[in-house]
Structure 1
Amino acid sequence: GNPIASAAGLATLDTYKEEGLLTRGAELAPYWEEALHSLKDARHVIDIRNIGLVGAIELEPRAGEPTKRAFSAFVNCFEKGVLIRTTGDIIALSPPLIVEKGHIDEIVDCIRTVLAETD
């Protein structure tokens, strides 16, 4: 491979180790899971799943307009300062390993508000 890319990769791994980011992510995973699954009764939610700090919220599709509901949630979250990803009618979430509990609360509160406002 490319020596510069290899050096960058090794430096990244060193940073993960020095800052304890993988341990931090593992420690925050239960908090993330509880917060994320608190949305299970939110409007339009079919399913919520996660592993570690990766999560997905499956939304019921709009009749005749698949993917539109999740895209509307994407736009509304973006306007409120929270960036989410969508794939079809699924909101995909993967916060950075430097995330804090307050950030998790903001993300989940924003999604809860947006889902309540989304038709």
Structure 2
Amino acid sequence: MSFSNNLRDKNYLSRYVYYTDPKNNEDKEISVGEELPIKPYSYKILDISRNGTYGPHHKYGAKNGMQAMTVAPVNKNGKVDYSHITIAYAGTNTADKADVRTDLENIVAGLPVYVGKI
């Protein structure tokens, strides 16, 4: 499958991932399975991590402020190309105490996981 895999697409995805945070997107809930139109193709959202949790929350990770999504290109016939998955993630939100604390614990202190509550 040929698809557009250029800088413009990556820029769009890197901006759109910020809408996975409900604090940034009160008007619309972004969901798995949604298609993001990037002409002439689109990308299907395969998974979303909100606040560091995804899928069954009891099974995966601690809440840590992480906002991310995985997407795959969709051709004009509607077929998803799972061989070209992209992971887009948001940077540190300095207005989110949990996000800042997680960065301090993981990056500055070198702790392996988010360990505290705010």
Q: TM-score range by the shorter chain?
A: under 0.3
* TM-score, normalised relative to structure 2: 0.27
Question: Going by fraction, where is helix more abundant, 1 or 2?
Answer: 1
* TM-score, normalised relative to structure 1: 0.27
Larger radius of gyration: 1
